[in-house]
Amino acid sequence: MLSENVAHRADTIDDTPYFTEEDSVESFVNRLNCNDERLAEVLESLVKHLHAFIKDVEPTVEEWMTGIKFLTETGQMCNEWRQEYILLSDVLAVSMLVDAINHRKPTGATESTVLGPFYLEDTPDYENGANICLDGKGEPLVVSGRVSDQNGQIIEGAMIEVWQANAEGFYDVQQPDLQPACNLRGRFRSDSDGRYWFRSIKPRHYPIPDDGPAGRLLGLMGRHPYRPAHIHAIISADGYDSVTTHLYFPDCPYINSDTVFGVKESRIIAFDLIEDERQAEKMGVEAPFWFMQADFVIVRK
């Protein structure tokens, strides 16, 4: 009986060593028995980096429990409309890193940024030139441009889907009682010259939802919760990789400190104030109005 026990203990020590601080990662890895190779790879890396983090920081038990409580509250904040973990990933610059890794583009192609939580699949289709501002509030803006591939070949029939906040920094879905449904969002198609254009208003910067743990963390880090003024756009066409991107306004006070790290230099688009009455009339807006030319370059699959 005694010898059986000893033999059993010896086997265990050889195959799966007991936990030690030094060999903590090996203790975990030796017990991995996944059928899914990718899952095994992800878990091994996760634990390797997590243990390295703990060894670096050496948290007290109280500090570790503060972290656990923070993650618990992050989960408790989530519901059908609110995804606090995505906000956490956004403010830690992880969303933009995942986006960058998954959307490496050749030089000259329109760069991607995060989708954000205010995208709606169900959005109106418009003819070029339509006004997506349904309540007439804000400074008029005309956006116009061309869709082409990296060789300068124009693309007809590309879909340009846009959505943006209003002049006070709120999306339609945040103010269902104050803004018309589908205010400041819509879909356009490039014409036979690859051109699209629409009328809108100049959007304002806005804070990301900051009444939960992600917002509290921003405060603790000494950071503000603002995203600089922008228009979201998704450009897609048959046979091409679609791109999810933004048009940023260079005059915004938050252009250099986006709380979700979403700004890329190539996506800051110059715009002008046009005071000429005849041009305003031609575009169906009142003078003065803002004009932004935003071309898009998408890449063949």
Site residues for ligand BEZ per CB under 6 A: 90, 114, 116-118, 208, 227, 260
Which residue is catalytic, options 146, 185, 232, 246?
A: 232
- Candidates 110-118, 176-184, 186-194, 283-291 — which segment interacts with Fe ion by CB under 5 A? 110-118
Q: Which does 260 bind (CB under 5 to 8 A by kind): Fe ion, ligand BEZ, none?
A: ligand BEZ
Rank residues 29 and 173 by Cβ distance to Fe ion and give the closer one.
173
Integer-rounded Cα Rg, in Å, for the chain is: 26
Contact 217, 66 (CB under 8 A): no
Binding segment for Fe ion (CB under 5 A), chosen from 17-25, 32-40, 87-95, 116-124, is 116-124
Of the residues 126, 171, 196, 254, which is catalytic? Answer: 171
User: In 3D, which of 292, 253, 258, 257 has the Cα closest to residue 272?
Assistant: 292
Of these partners, Fe ion, ligand BEZ, none, which one is at the site of residue 143 (CB under 5 to 8 Å by kind)?
none
- Non-local (6+) Cβ contacts of 168 within 8 A are 204
Residue 206 annotated in active site: yes
Report the residue closest to ligand BEZ, judged by CB: 116
Amino acid at 288: P
Query: DSSP state, 129?
Result: T
Catalytic residue among 185, 199, 205, 206: 206
* CB closer to Fe ion out of 174 and 293: 174
In the chain, the DSSP E strands lie at 140-148, 159-164, 185-189, 195-201, 206-207, 226-227, 230-236, 240-241, 243-248, 271-274, 289-293, 296-297, 299-300
The yes-or-no answer on residue 49 being catalytic is no
Catalytic residue among 146, 185, 199, 227: 227
- Separation between Cα atoms, residue 106 and residue 149, nearest integer Å: 11
Nearer to ligand BEZ, 49 or 223 (CB): 223
Least gap, CB of 163 to Fe ion (angstroms): 8
227 is catalytic: yes
Annotated catalytic residue 230: yes
Are the beta carbons of 250 and 270 closer than 8 angstroms?
yes
Residue 134 CA to residue 146 CA, distance in Å, equals 24
User: Binding Fe ion by CB under 5 A: which of 87, 116, 215, 247?
Assistant: 116
Question: Given the rule CB under 5 A, which residues bind Fe ion?
Answer: 116
**Residues marked as catalytic:** 171, 206, 227, 230, 232
